[in-house]
Amino acid sequence: MVREVKREALTRMEEAARTVEDFQEVVAMWDKLDRNRERNVRRHEIGRPNEETLHWDKPNPSDLKGKLKEGLDTVIPPPLVNMWWRQHIRGQFIDEIYDNAQEMWQQVGDRSIAKLIKRLTEKQKDVLFLSTVRLCTPQQIACYHDKTDRAVRKLLAVALENMRSELAYTIRKQILAESPHITFAKRQFLSWYEEQQAALDSAERG
């Protein structure tokens, strides 16, 4: 009932708006509703760090998304602090169902990134899965696949570089088209990627 009354009041404000100040007030109300909606969603969401989503091999310790609030780790027993246990307690088993190299793209929320992972070869998916999800070192992956760690690093580097170049191209197109799917994390990634490319070009010319 309260939500319906607020929705009706906002509709009347929109219809009655005539001046710039009136429209600014309507926009402020919509922004407030969006913030409230996003806050409610975050309460029921188990997130992962943005940096690991876009950089994979360069996690950022300062990115606190998806981590427990400070102090809770001293109250909750160690096994329950783990993300997998938190998901099991809530009855969320999607990550466990798709916990394999060939289906890991199903766990990615961003469609453009999921498509890039899905198009990788089986070997590239295996290496990427073990490196980013299982957090294995190149030496451990090499033992698992009976390869040299140098071959593993090369395979992973090629997979990441191809994905990053295609992702950067996609993000540029989304920015030009003013797509609603552009996030701050994507803009950060594009800025980082362009800096890396500029440094490589400068090194090659030098």
In tens, the pLDDT along 168-184 reads 999 999 899 888 878 88
In tens, the pLDDT along 180-196 reads 878 888 889 999 999 98
Supply the pLDDT for residue 125: 93
- Residue by residue, DSSP assigns the chain as -HHHHHHHHHHHHHHH--SHHHHHHHHHHHHHHHHHHHHHHHHT-----HHHHHHSS---TT--TTSPPTTGGGTS-HHHHSHHHHHHHTT--HHHHT-SGGGGGGG-SSHHHHHHHHTS-HHHHHHHHHHHTS---HHHHHHHHT--HHHHHHHHHHHHHHHHHHHHHHHHHHHHTT-TT--HHHHHHHHHHHHHHHHHHHHHH-
In tens, the pLDDT along 44-68 reads 555 554 544 444 445 555 555 545 5
pTM: 0.56
pLDDT at 12 over 70: yes
- Going from N- to C-terminal start, the domains of the chain cover 1-45, 60-97, 103-206
CATH assignment of 103-206, among 1.10.10.1150, 1.10.10.10, 3.40.50.2300, 3.40.225.10: 1.10.10.10
pLDDT at 84 over 80: no
Supply the pLDDT for residue 101: 87
Supply the pLDDT for residue 159: 92
